[in-house]
Amino acid sequence: MSLGDKRRRMSKMLSLLEGYANLLGYEIAYDFLKRCGDCPIGHETSLHKIGLAVDINLYKDGRYLETTDDHRELGEFWEHIGGAWGGRFNDGNHYSISHMGMR
């Protein structure tokens, strides 16, 4: 699957995730949806830089939820629809699609 195919798939999956989150009473705000190529944030091989990862700020009842466990329900849904969830490697608000061995 090409990078373009994966980026379009990522967009569709984020729509599903946001709808599921809303059904559960969560609100989400996207953070680091796509980082610039020369930004000092993260690794040189970051999936954020190629549009295959997003960090999500999660809220419920107006309260910011910041722990990995707060993201568990959404993270497991993300995995169910084919994504890689950062909760498996201590980055609970990270949602991505694997590419060339990166997650």
Both tokens of 42, joined, read: 């993260």
Q: One digit per residue, pLDDT tens: the chain, 103 residues?
A: 899 999 999 999 999 999 999 999 999 999 876 655 555 555 556 888 888 999 999 999 999 999 999 999 999 999 999 999 999 998 999 999 999 877 7
Architecture of domain 3-96: 2-Layer Sandwich (3.30)
Q: Which residue has the tokens 């990862």?
A: 53
Burial string for 64-82 (b: 16+ CB within 10 Å, else e) reads: ebeebebbeebbebbeeee
> What are the Cα distances from residue 2, in Å, to 30, 35, 52, 102?
24, 20, 12, 15
Give the predicted TM-score (pTM) of the model: 0.87
Query: Looking at this protein, which amino acid is placed at residue 1?
Result: M
Q: β-strand 94-96 against 84-85: which pairing, if any?
A: antiparallel
Question: Can you give the C-alpha Rg of the chain in angstroms?
Answer: 13
pLDDT value for 45: 67
pLDDT value for 40: 55
